[in-house]
Structure 1
Amino acid sequence: MISGTGSGWWSRESNKVLLLVTAGLLSFATASAQDLHFSQFFNSPLTTNPANTGFIPDADYRIGALYRNQWSTVMTVPYKTTSLYGDAQLFRDKLENGWLGLGGVILSDVAGSGSLRSTKVYGSLAYHQQLGNSSLVSAGFNVGWANKRIDQSKLKFPDQFDGKFFENPFTAVTLTNTSSSYMDVQAGMNYAYFPQENVYINAGYSIHHVNRPKETFFSDNTNDGRIPMRHIAFLNAILKVNERVIINPNAYFTTQAKSSELVFGLNGNYNLSEYGEKQLVAGLYYRLGDAIAPMVGFELNNIKFTFSYDVTMSSLNQFNGYRGASEFSIVKKGFYTQKGDRQTMCPVFY
Structure 2
Amino acid sequence: MKGKNKISLFTLTGLLFALTMHAQDLHFSQFFNSPLTTNPANTGFIPDADYRLGANYRNQWSAVMTVPYKTTSIFGDAQLLRDKLETGWLGIGGVLLSDVAGSGSLRSTKIYGSIAYHQQLGSSSLLSAGFNIGWANKRIDPSKLKFPDQFDGKFFDNPVTAVSLNNTSVSYMDVQAGMNYAYFPQENVYINAGYSIHHVNRPKETFFDDQTNAGRIPMRHIGFLNAILKVNERVIINPNAYFSTQSKATELVVGLNGNYNLTETGEKQLVAGLYYRLGDAIAPMVGFELNNIKFTFSYDATLSSLNKFNNYRGASEFSIVKKGFYPQRQNRQTMCPTFY
Shift, 1:341, TM fit: 3.0
For the residues of structure 2 that align with 1:221 and 1:81, how far apart are their CA atoms? 31
For the residues of structure 2 that align with 1:133 and 1:285, how far apart are their CA atoms? 33
Unmatched runs of 5 consecutive residues or more in structure 2: none
Residues 11 and 64 of structure 2 are in contact (CA less than 8 Å); yes or no, is this contact kept in structure 1?
no
TM-score normalised by the chain length of structure 2 = 0.97
* 2:14 corresponding residue in structure 1: 24
Shift, 1:273, TM fit: 0.3
- 1:295 and 2:285 matched: yes
* 2:127 corresponding residue in structure 1: 137
Q: Partner amino acid for 1:64?
A: G
The 3-state SS of whatever aligns with 2:2 is helix
- 1:88 and 2:81 matched: no
The 3-state SS of whatever aligns with 2:284 is strand
* 2:24 corresponding residue in structure 1: 34
The 3-state SS of whatever aligns with 1:341 is coil
Q: Is 30-39 or 19-28 further displaced after alignment? A: 19-28
Residues 130 and 136 of structure 1 are in contact (CA less than 8 Å); yes or no, is this contact kept in structure 2?
yes
For the residues of structure 2 that align with 1:207 and 1:254, how far apart are their CA atoms? 10
For the residues of structure 2 that align with 1:291 and 1:180, how far apart are their CA atoms? 32
Shift in alpha-carbon separation, 1:165–1:340, aligned structure 2, 3 A: closer
- CA deviation map 1:30-64 (0-9, x unaligned): 45110000000000000000000000000000000
Shift, 1:16, TM fit: 4.1
- 1:76 and 2:69 matched: no
* 1:169 corresponding residue in structure 2: 159
Q: Partner amino acid for 1:219?
A: D
Out of 258, 265, 272, the position equivalent to 2:262 is: 272
Residues 41 and 128 of structure 2 are in contact (CA less than 8 Å); yes or no, is this contact kept in structure 1?
yes
What RMSD over aligned residues (CA atoms) do the two structures have, in Å?
Answer: 1.3
Shift in alpha-carbon separation, 1:30–1:143, aligned structure 2, 3 A: farther
TM-score normalised by the chain length of structure 1 = 0.95
For the residues of structure 2 that align with 1:246 and 1:135, how far apart are their CA atoms? 20
Shift, 1:220, TM fit: 3.0
Residues 262 and 287 of structure 1 are in contact (CA less than 8 Å); yes or no, is this contact kept in structure 2?
yes
* 1:321 corresponding residue in structure 2: 311
Shift, 1:200, TM fit: 0.1
Q: Partner amino acid for 2:258?
A: G
Kindly, what percent of the aligned residue pairs are identical?
Answer: 84
**Counterparts in 2 of 1:96-107, with a 5 A limit?**
96-107=86-97
For the residues of structure 1 that align with 2:193 and 2:203, how far apart are their CA atoms? 27
Q: Partner amino acid for 2:204?
A: K
Residues 7 and 65 of structure 2 are in contact (CA less than 8 Å); yes or no, is this contact kept in structure 1?
no
* 1:203 corresponding residue in structure 2: 193
